[in-house]
Amino acid sequence: MVRAVLVPEPGKLVLAEKAVPIIRESTEVLVRVKAGGICGTDLHIFHGTSPVATYPRVIGHEFVGEVVARGRGVTRVREGDHVVVEPIFFCGKCYPCSIGRPNVCENLEVMGVHRDGGFQEYVVVPERNVYPFSKDISWEEAVLMEPFTIALQVADRGNIASSDTVFIIGAGPIGLCILAYLKYLGAQCGISDIIPKRLERAKNLGADFVVHSGEENLEREVLRHFPGGAHVVIDASGLPETFAQAVQLASRAGRVVVLGFHTAPSPIPQASITLRELTIVGSRLQAHKFPQVVALFEERKLQPGKLVSHVFSFERVHEAFALLEHYPEETCKVLLSF
Ligand SMILES: [Zn+2]
Ligand SMILES: [Zn+2]
């Protein structure tokens, strides 16, 4: 038997026992999970506020582990390899898939959301979903690879170059991953949050300026540093009002990238978009970003360790969830070790 972190129905979180997964296809690998990252999505699934999740569900879409067995047709990895799992499954036939955007496939399935995820001791996945990485990278650091793929996707969608000025609303784990990646790119970055400790982390990751949006005037601060507005504004907070703010803060010919799943509308006048000819884009999951992120980690270009605030053994998952829910100011990325 293997133990798994299961949400049988909204509001319940249990450690369940299930049969050891077995390889059924020659192109599959069996991975012994070593570490996973708890994400806002996992909390939404637990609370029943995910618009897409189905139940019962073994959660977890940010996870890494060791290959312990493989099907006969597997050629890219072998037993003993350390791998990160790309948690998305797509059809390869629909319009988005046909233009290289499988992350918005019409038949998209995400591990830990639409099908069972990585918060369990073993998982079986197709070999095309795993990417081996150097054993010099710790399990804890490697868990950050998936969140960093989200950051690379955002940079792509916002067409961000090193010469750009970028403002990020929200300094939670995703906002900070985006910041860390954009600083590596060389862009100038400001970031806001209502939690001072998160802004401390942002400074530590190289933010050019931070704005405490509970106390300072966001628009004035952004314009002070970036006269005319930011070339790119990223809403990593995802509230109806932050989307409207993001549009307001963008420069002429600017881009606005949104990541939120809120269903409430935001008041955004057409004129703000037309007069400045803004490009407003959504960014969901990632497309083809794992190889690039693995390379960046192996070259030590990012600072994933700075994003990890806590590590719990998976048996203490309830404590980890309670910490995230009740002490958001104390936490950044909270990991489970297996
Ligand atoms: Zn996530
Ligand atoms: Zn598709």
The domain made up of 2-147+286-337 is a member of CATH 3.90.180.10 = yes
How far apart, in whole angstroms, are the C-alpha atoms of residue 59 and residue 69?
23
Decide whether 2-147+286-337 matches 159-282 in CATH topology.
Answer: no
- Which residues fall within 8 angstroms of residue 288, CB to CB, at 6 or more apart? 100
pLDDT greater than 90 at residue 261:
no
Nearest to 168 by CA among 218, 124, 95: 218
How many angstroms is it from 65 CA to the middle of ligand 2? 27
Q: Which ligand is nearest to the CA of 286?
A: 1
Q: Residue 229: left (phi > 0), alpha (psi -120 to 50), or beta?
A: left
Q: Which residues pair with residue 193 across a beta bridge?
A: 212
Residue 77, classed as helix, strand or coil, is coil
CB 142 within 8 A of CB 297: yes
Domain ranges of the chain: 2-147+286-337, 159-282
pLDDT tens track for 279-336: 999 999 999 999 999 999 999 999 899 999 999 999 999 999 999 999 988 999 999 9
Q: Longest Cα pair distance anywhere in the chain, in angstroms?
A: 61
Average pLDDT, the chain: 97
DSSP 277: T
CA distance between the termini of the chain:
14
Count of CB atoms situated within 10 Å of the CB of 121: 18
Token couple for 12: 């319940």
Question: Ligand 2 centre from 100 Cα, in Å?
Answer: 9
Sheet-wide strand order for 230-235: 209-212, 188-193, 165-169, 230-235, 250-258, 279-282
pLDDT band at residue 36, thresholds of 50, 70 and 90? Answer: very high
Taking the centre of ligand 2 as the mean of its atom positions, its distance from the CA of residue 231, in whole angstroms, is 32
In the chain, the percentage of residues whose pLDDT exceeds 90 is 97
Name the closest ligand to CA 173.
1
Q: Which ligand is nearest to the CA of 38?
A: 1
73-91 pLDDT per residue, tens: 999 999 999 999 999 999 9
Q: How high is the pLDDT of residue 51?
A: 86
Tell me the pTM. Answer: 0.97
By the CB criterion, residues less than 5 angstroms from ion ligand 1 are: 39
* 159-282 CATH pick, 3.40.50.720, 3.90.1300.10, 3.40.50.2300, 3.90.950.10: 3.40.50.720
Alpha-helical (H) ranges within the chain are: 40-47, 95-98, 139-142, 145-157, 173-185, 196-204, 218-225, 240-249, 270-275, 290-298, 317-326
